[in-house]
Structure 1
């Protein structure tokens, strides 16, 4: 019995560190399980930041705040991961990582809402222009491409599953719009008509843009019936 007590006494100093190691191991395991999807979320983060840059997301104060909170969450998670040395530190890693994922979700929600506004502003008018150009023999091919771009933009918000696919669609659509707008200016060779189509593309066309020259062009191309007059008040 005395020998057993002696051995126990000798082991006592090792019990505390052994328990700490076990706790650290358990915390490390839980942290590893939590971080299994880290690569997916990092890819999601990269894609969202690219979309934000592509669409000038941060120009609005609320959107800039969302990105600021996201950057803080990313920085906090990275810092806690780099300095973790005990179970308490690992719990902090878990908390910081969960905060990061939540901020990522909030930023994505705002960014998707922002993209819908961009589609409404920059792409929906392309459909109206496309319908006009499609009905004119000399510009019908360009008109169909305008319509296709506008409709693709409308569908792009449905890429809810994979953010990288949404990012690729956004980049491609904006490139297409830029190309189509450059092409459009070579179609009419009429300054007044170009100004009218610019206003139509921006969603700000009014009767003031329908100058006699524009009306003559529309009538010559049998396109007058493609428009209706509605009051904004």
Structure 2
């Protein structure tokens, strides 16, 4: 079984399309999305529709929960950035309507996927112990171990930090799949809404499950239009 694992799309449909176009060169069985799916980028509704049409397995991220549960009229922004975010939230909530907002509200915070070797994969946004706390590449082993919680599964797939990594703590694989819509690699313009950050690359991770175990391949997909604007090569 071959799984394409992504996270933190943040409504960046062009970046998602670039990753899926690259992925179409291989025949994969599952698309896993580790949260922060639609907000605040330029194409939230189209991003949601593309993922649901693809049958993506999704968990709720921090921005997804905020979008679906907060009343923007009750918020009190303290800066221009916060005011822009609140206005963007109002626009996206209006675009989605009650039905889709309810579906985002009901997204699980964890999904477990059986693996072919008898093990189990756990899909989360931040960490198994707290979906709102990120597991980062520079954390010491004891901190990562604490965030694994009491029942972490054999493979933990997460996002939130926007920086991909693959580490093993004991017998548990921790695979952070980075970000599609807000990858920190390379140059990008200053955030504006609804355009948002414009990264030069997008991250994704292939996980292949076989009776002998898993293989992991983390990839970086260049976003050619942005690269060319900055005079960079089409491949990074």
TM-score by length of 2: 0.22
- The structure with the greater share of residues assigned to helix is 1
Higher relative CO (Cα under 8 Å, sequence separation at least 6) belongs to: 2
Higher-Rg structure is 1
- The structure with the greater share of residues assigned to strand is 2
TM-score by length of 1: 0.22
